[in-house]
């Protein structure tokens, strides 16, 4: 049996902090509203000129250094992102060039906030099949670039950042990815989408004036899907591995909203001490959310060798996914 073992991890967030109090000067909101509805206190915003590939490359560089691999040994680069530097070439190819990963194939995966777990799942399949031994998996987004800072119902939620892991084939023991599960359900464009800039609505004066190049979201409808689907996909992972909720050492959910995290944990009967939370610092960074949280959990000692970690996420599509990793 081949397991995809995590041998390197890294993350990167821009320096600029945007606090709730600052947002009060931009839209009609309050720190009390944002904190009580979302748990978010601040988020990071990339300065002008910084791109998703810059953030992805910084995170990936740290992950590769920690892995001890020679950069030439990376055979595949997968980047989960919905805010690529440009429509093409892919952000993965740009990261390849920035880091000199000359022997890798590279492509992006678009799965909204599930982008990192989707990418992890594809990487795991390639490793299990024997096709590749060393894969770089990235989750990175600059949501500030597609956020409408005149829309108070969305602009308080999102931030910028990214993370990366290096996976390698492990045949010696059972450390690594034990399972991944992915789901999709099209037909929900009305609750979460960015319509402008694609083949349906190429950029035009009209599309810019009608603000179609920004995220549009119906938050309360999405909230209901999030809690139900995140619970279901977490249970699917636990049952698939013949585990019980109490066997999981750390639950690292998508950091979208503290109320979604708490409601999901409650449904799964996870005590909050076993749930990793950093949404207060970064808001929702989409594909960046899980790898940033995993990196912080690892660096703070909450993820140790042999720990059983459960991750899950939901995003635009809808897409939702989970994975259990023996760290
Ligand atoms: N400040 C003050 N008031 C606000 C704000 C704000 N920032 N935003 C909305 N309100 C108001 C609304 O106008 C509404 O007022 P009204 O009753 O007078 O019309 C009131 O607050 C309640 O609005 P709701 O949308 O019902 O608030 P809700 O309790 O649902 O919380 C929230 C909103 C935080 C967005 C929540 O629905 C949520 O977190 N949803 C999930 C979003 C999410 O997780 N998205 C992740 C996927 S994103 C991706 O894939 C890229």
Q: What is the pLDDT of residues 301-315, one digit of tens each?
A: 999 999 999 999 999
Q: For residue 268, count CB atoms less than 10 angstroms from its CB and return exposed for 0-12, middle for 13-18, buried for 19 or more.
A: buried
Cis preceding-peptide flag for 318 (omega within 30 of 0): yes
Mean pLDDT calculated for residue range 142-153: 98
Residues 268 and 120 both lie in one domain: no
Mean pLDDT calculated for residue range 165-193: 96
Residues 186 and 152 both lie in one domain: no
Residues 166 and 192 both lie in one domain: no
Mean pLDDT calculated for residue range 145-171: 97
Q: Where among 153, 173, 193 does a domain terminate?
A: 173
How many structural domains is the chain composed of? 2
CA 108 to ligand 1 center in whole angstroms: 30
Residues 167 and 181 both lie in one domain: no
Residues 55 and 110 both lie in one domain: yes
User: Which one is predicted more confidently, 173 or 277?
Assistant: 277
pLDDT at residue 132 is higher than 90: yes
CA 162 to ligand 1 center in whole angstroms: 24
* Tokens describing residue 237: 């992972």
Pocket of ligand 1 (CB under 6 A): 29, 33-34, 37-38, 112-113, 152-153, 156, 192, 219-220, 222-223, 226, 256-257, 260, 284, 286, 315-316
Mean pLDDT calculated for residue range 64-88: 98
Atom of ligand 1 nearest to the CA of 286: 51
Angstrom distance (rounded) from CA 273 to CA 262: 11
Task: Provide the pLDDT confidence category of residue 295 given band limits of 50, 70 and 90.
Answer: very high
Mean pLDDT calculated for residue range 62-81: 98
Q: Where among 144, 173, 202 does a domain terminate?
A: 173
DSSP 8-state code for residue 69: -
User: For a pLDDT cut of 70, what percent of the chain falls above it?
Assistant: 100
Query: Which domain range does residue 91 map to?
Result: 3-173
Residues 154 and 30 both lie in one domain: yes
Q: What is the CATH number of the domain that holds 315?
A: 3.40.47.10
Catalytic center residues: 113, 254, 284
Residues 52 and 159 both lie in one domain: yes
Residues 195 and 321 both lie in one domain: yes
- Does the model's pTM come out above 0.85? yes
pLDDT of res. 173: 83
pLDDT at residue 97 is higher than 90: yes
Q: Where among 173, 208, 232 does a domain terminate?
A: 173
Residues 149 and 214 both lie in one domain: no
Mean pLDDT calculated for residue range 188-217: 97
pLDDT at residue 174 is higher than 90: no
Angstrom distance (rounded) from CA 41 to CA 281: 6
User: For a pLDDT cut of 90, what percent of the chain falls above it?
Assistant: 99
């Amino acid at each position: 049996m081949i397991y995809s073992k995590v041998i390197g991890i890294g993350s990167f967030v821009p320096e600029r902090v945007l606090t709730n109090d600052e947002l009060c000067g931009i839209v009609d909101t309050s720190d009390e509203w944002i904190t009580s509805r979302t748990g978010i206190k601040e988020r990071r915003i990339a300065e002008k000129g910084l791109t998703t590939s810059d953030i992805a490359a910084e995170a990936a560089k740290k992950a590769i250094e920690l892995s001890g691999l020679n950069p030439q040994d990376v055979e595949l680069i997968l980047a989960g992102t919905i805010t690529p530097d440009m429509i093409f070439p892919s952000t993965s190819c740009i990261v390849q060039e920035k880091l000199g990963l000359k022997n890798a194939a590279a492509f992006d995966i678009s799965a909204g906030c599930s982008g990192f777990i989707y990418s992890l799942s594809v990487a795991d399949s390639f490793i299990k099949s024997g096709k590749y031994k060393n894969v770089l998996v990235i989750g990175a987004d600059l949501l500030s670039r597609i956020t409408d800072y005149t829309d108070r119902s969305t602009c308080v939620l999102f931030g910028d950042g990214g993370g990366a892991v290096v996976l390698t084939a492990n045949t010696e023991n059972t450390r690594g990815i034990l399972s991944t599960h992915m789901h999709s359900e099209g037909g929900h464009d009305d609750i979460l989408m960015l319509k402008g800039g694609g083949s349906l609505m190429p950029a035009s004066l009209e599309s810019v004036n009608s603000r179609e190049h920004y995220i549009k979201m119906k938050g309360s409808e999405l909230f209901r899907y999030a809690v139900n689907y995140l619970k279901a996909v977490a249970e699917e992972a636990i049952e698939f591995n013949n585990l019980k909720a109490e066997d999981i050492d750390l639950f690292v959910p998508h950091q979208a909203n503290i109320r979604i995290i708490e409601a999901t944990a409650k449904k799964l009967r996870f005590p909050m001490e076993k749930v990793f939370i950093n949404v207060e610092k970064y808001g929702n960074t989409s594909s960046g959310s899980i790898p940033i949280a995993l990196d912080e959990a690892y660096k703070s000692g909450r993820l140790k060798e042999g720990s059983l970690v459960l991750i899950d996420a939901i995003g635009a599509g809808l897409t939702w996914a989970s994975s259990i990793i023996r760290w």
